[in-house]
């Protein structure tokens, strides 16, 4: 039998009818939306974002490499100006077969490691001293700022005159290029720590070493790591100049020797090796950032 609803003059059911309707609607079982209707959208979004995150940074280099290869294959690029990627690959394979390529790479890596370690440790120590002590700030900072304004590559003739053409001038130049970015970022990071946190640590009885270890160092770490990333790039630029002036091995020496022999393919190979080394150094620094700064919200990966 059809249901008849009683309406008022305005077309609104009376309170009793509304109550009955509400009770009947509440008694009806509610059907939850099926998981199949919303799971594809939820699953597709994170997967697409993961693919873009992994493959996105390689899209432009691969496109440039493909354009380079097609342009060289069409004869639009002269081999004496810019050889094809396959020619560069063959040059690298030939040098690797004789062991010469490995020798140059290991020589450059050794100089980078020694020079970077020397410059980084010195920059960190002096940065903490200047950042934490007003006395050290007065004694050291102005003198270091005066030295910083001198281009370290302009010191190449003087360093060679002091130390000769051995390994010492190359390592010292890399250390000079590494020192100032880390020093400046360390001082900036220490001074950027909230003074209230330091005062709170002192109120809990922490000494100077404990303040540095527990509060100042973690608070300044993001800025310090940014300085390390920048200094790695400066270190490789410095090494290029140092190895092209006075060296018997290394990637820079490989490029200089290839220039004298008019081997454009080996010159491009040296450029590619420098780019790969810089990329690996940056990726390593990013990995260290994620490991050390897991507590920092800006370095936490999204959960969804």
* Cβ neighbours of residue 258 closer than 8 Å, sequence gap 6 or more: 264, 265, 266, 267, 269, 270
Domain presence at residue 190: yes
215-241 pLDDT tens trace: 888 888 888 988 998 998 889 888 888
Domain that includes residue 206, residue range: 85-294
Domain presence at residue 29: no
Mean pLDDT computed over 84-93: 89
CB 203 within 8 A of CB 241: no
Domain presence at residue 78: no
Domain presence at residue 91: yes
Place 180 in a pLDDT band, splitting at 50, 70 and 90: very high
Query: What pLDDT score does 155 carry?
Result: 84
Query: What pLDDT score does 28 carry?
Result: 53
Query: What pLDDT score does 114 carry?
Result: 93
243-264 pLDDT tens trace: 877 778 888 888 888 888 888 8
CATH code of the domain containing 111: 1.10.3720.10
Place 83 in a pLDDT band, splitting at 50, 70 and 90: confident
Domain presence at residue 69: no
Place 22 in a pLDDT band, splitting at 50, 70 and 90: very low
Domain presence at residue 12: no
CB 80 within 8 A of CB 264: yes
CB 79 within 8 A of CB 87: yes
Distance between CA atoms of residues 292 and 278, nearest Å = 21
pTM for the whole structure: 0.73
* Mean pLDDT over each residue of the chain, to the nearest integer: 80
Residue 5 in this model has a pLDDT that exceeds 80:
no
Domain count of the chain? 1
Domain presence at residue 199: yes
Lowest mean pLDDT among 22-31, 70-79, 178-187, 253-262: 22-31
């Amino acid at each position: 039998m059809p249901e008849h609803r009683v309406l008022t003059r305005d077309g609104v059911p009376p309170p009793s009818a509304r109550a009955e309707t509400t009770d009947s609607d509440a008694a009806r079982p509610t059907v939850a939306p099926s998981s199949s209707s919303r799971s594809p959208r939820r699953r597709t979004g994170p997967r697409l974002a993961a693919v873009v995150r992994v493959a996105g940074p390689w899209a432009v280099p691969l496109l440039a490499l493909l354009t380079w290869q097609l342009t060289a294959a069409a004869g639009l690029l002269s081999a004496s100006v810019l050889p094809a990627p396959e020619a560069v690959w063959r040059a690298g394979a030939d040098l690797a077969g004789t062991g010469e390529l490995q020798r140059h790479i290991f020589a450059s890596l050794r100089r980078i490691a020694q020079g970077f370690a020397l410059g980084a440790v010195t920059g960190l120590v002096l940065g903490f001293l200047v950042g934490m002590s007003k006395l050290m700030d007065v004694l050291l900072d102005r003198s270091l700022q005066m030295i910083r304004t001198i281009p370290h590559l302009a010191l190449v003739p003087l360093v060679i005159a002091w130390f000769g053409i051995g390994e010492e001038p190359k390592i010292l130049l890399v250390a000079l290029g590494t020192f100032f970015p880390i020093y400046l970022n360390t001082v900036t990071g220490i001074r950027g720590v909230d003074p209230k946190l330091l005062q709170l640590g002192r109120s809990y009885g922490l000494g100077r070493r404990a303040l540095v270890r527990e509060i100042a160092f973690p608070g300044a770490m993001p800025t310090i790591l940014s300085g390390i990333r920048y200094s790695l790039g400066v270190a490789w630029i410095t090494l290029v100049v140092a190895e092209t002036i006075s060296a018997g091995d290394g990637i820079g020496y490989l490029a200089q020797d290839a220039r004298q022999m008019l081997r454009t393919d080996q010159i491009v190979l040296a450029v590619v090796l420098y780019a790969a080394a810089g990329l690996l150094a940056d990726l390593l620094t990013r990995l260290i950032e994620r490991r050390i700064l897991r507590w920092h919200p800006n370095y936490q990966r999204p959960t969804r």
